Amino acid sequence: MSFEIHSANPVVKAIIEGAAPRPAQVAAARGILPLPENEMLEVLVAFATSADNELAEHAAATLRAHNPSMLAESARSSETAPFVLQYLASDANQPRAVHQSVITNVNTPPDALLKLARHTADAELLELIAFNQQLLIQAPVLIEAIMSNPASTPETERRAAETKREFFEKERGVQQIADELRAQGKEAAAQFIENADFAENLDDLGMDLDDAAFLASMIEVPDGETDDAWLALEYLEELYEESDAERRMIADKILGEMRLEDTDEANERISIINRIMKMGMKDRVKLAMKGDRESRNILIRDPNRIVAQAVVANPRITEQEVEEIAALRAVTEDILRQIASNRQWARSYSIVHNLARNPRTPIANVINILSRLQLRDLAALSKNRNVSDAVRRQALRLSTARKGS
């Protein structure tokens, strides 16, 4: 069994990793080392699943002789290591009380209960799993395990089937998708799909529920992390709705700029862009501010400056992404000016170098950047026919002056 040591106790770490003396390890495997109950269980399970035959034999015997009431209490504790809970769940010889505690412990890995759900003959345990809807949503494989277990009662099967139908059948609405995402801990995605304009008229936009779920899955930033203070009143008049033809033109423009050569990748990217472009501009702004790297990579090329600026305002955007954006000729001057004016990004030499070489960067920003470039980059820029004459001349003056000094 692979696991991470859960306890912060250096003694536990030393014993499990083999840094402690051998007598101390053997004493721990026999359960006679003075450790708190949860930490002792962590050591015992680690040894019981190890390749050290002596320690594994002692630890397994100690676990078999363990007081069931104490074991059930530990299995309920939030301090018990997840891999210990996984071990107890997979041990068919554990009493019902222990398995009940493991099932109800939120720290138990959902997949750890799969063997129990498939093979237990205890109808009460199956019912306990089936009635935990969040658990079934996190690990839907448990649903089939419950329904195929001969020990399942009609009520247990009904609850499992109800969860399957509500959350995993095709005929589910936008709210069901949001509920499913929320149960999986994806609150930002759930909020997005609940508040998105497109969710109100999927049919009119040519969307289906799979499209809606896919778009929501791209959201990774919760409301609390976003700052839309930059979206001042001056921008609101640009938040218009495009026609289908205009969206098609935007999609074609973005695809053309990405210049994909690999056919499989191109087909996948076309599908993603087509789904995104079914959204109106307001929803694209939200996706740009809250979406993942893939959505940012697409929407930075959106010809509407508000959508593109929302990408740069995304709190999860990385310095590497900004470096790549600074080199893009497809982005607007507003975006390049915004990057050049950002103090944090302006400290990156790669970013300012890309800005200086980008013919779309406003000349005023480039002139300020040139003094920071290294001599070899200035010399190369003075010969670069892609940038303006003014930039080349200034680069030549600076490089000549440095050589002369």
Question: Mean pLDDT per 10-residue run, the chain (405 residues)?
Answer: 80 93 94 93 95 94 94 94 94 94 93 92 95 90 94 93 74 77 89 87 79 90 83 60 80 77 62 89 92 93 89 94 93 92 92 94 92 92 91 91 76
- The per-residue pLDDT for 78 is 92
Query: How far is 219 from 330, CA to CA, in rounded Å?
Result: 24
Query: How far is 400 from 405, CA to CA, in rounded Å?
Result: 9
Q: Residue 159: which domain range?
A: 10-168
Q: Which of 187, 142, 219, 129 is nearest to 179 (CA)?
A: 187
In a domain, 252, yes or no: no
Kindly state the tokens that stand for 232: 């001042």
Kindly state the tokens that stand for 197: 């304009």
The residue type found at 155 is E
Per-residue CA distances from 22 to 18, 19, 368 (Å): 8, 9, 66
Query: How far is 325 from 331, CA to CA, in rounded Å?
Result: 7
**Alpha-helical runs (H) found in 49-94:** 53-64, 68-76, 82-90
Residue that terminates a domain, selected from 168, 197, 229: 168
Query: How far is 3 from 190, CA to CA, in rounded Å?
Result: 31
- In the chain, the number of structural domains is 2
Q: 3-class SS at 291?
A: strand
Query: How far is 296 from 290, CA to CA, in rounded Å?
Result: 9
- The per-residue pLDDT for 121 is 94
Residues 55, 60, 62, 64, Cα dihedral to 10°: -170
Q: For 250, what's the count of Cα atoms within 13 Å in the CB-facing half-sphere?
A: 27
In a domain, 17, yes or no: yes
Query: Considering the entire predicted model, what is its pTM?
Result: 0.56
- The per-residue pLDDT for 165 is 75
- The per-residue pLDDT for 169 is 58
* DSSP character at residue 303: S
In a domain, 45, yes or no: yes
- The per-residue pLDDT for 138 is 87
In a domain, 179, yes or no: no
- The per-residue pLDDT for 261 is 45
In a domain, 223, yes or no: no
Query: How far is 120 from 117, CA to CA, in rounded Å?
Result: 6
- The per-residue pLDDT for 235 is 59
In a domain, 253, yes or no: no
Residue with tokens 């699943």: 49
- As beta bridge partners, residue 219 has 291
- As beta bridge partners, residue 291 has 219
Per-residue CA distances from 381 to 173, 366, 373, 391, 405 (Å): 56, 11, 10, 8, 20
Q: Which of 124, 80, 82, 118 is nearest to 99 (CA)?
A: 124
The residue type found at 9 is N
Residue that terminates a domain, selected from 149, 168, 187: 168
DSSP 362-382: -HHHHHHHHTTS-HHHHHHHT
- The per-residue pLDDT for 48 is 94
In a domain, 354, yes or no: yes
- The per-residue pLDDT for 129 is 95
Residue that terminates a domain, selected from 136, 168, 200: 168
In a domain, 146, yes or no: yes
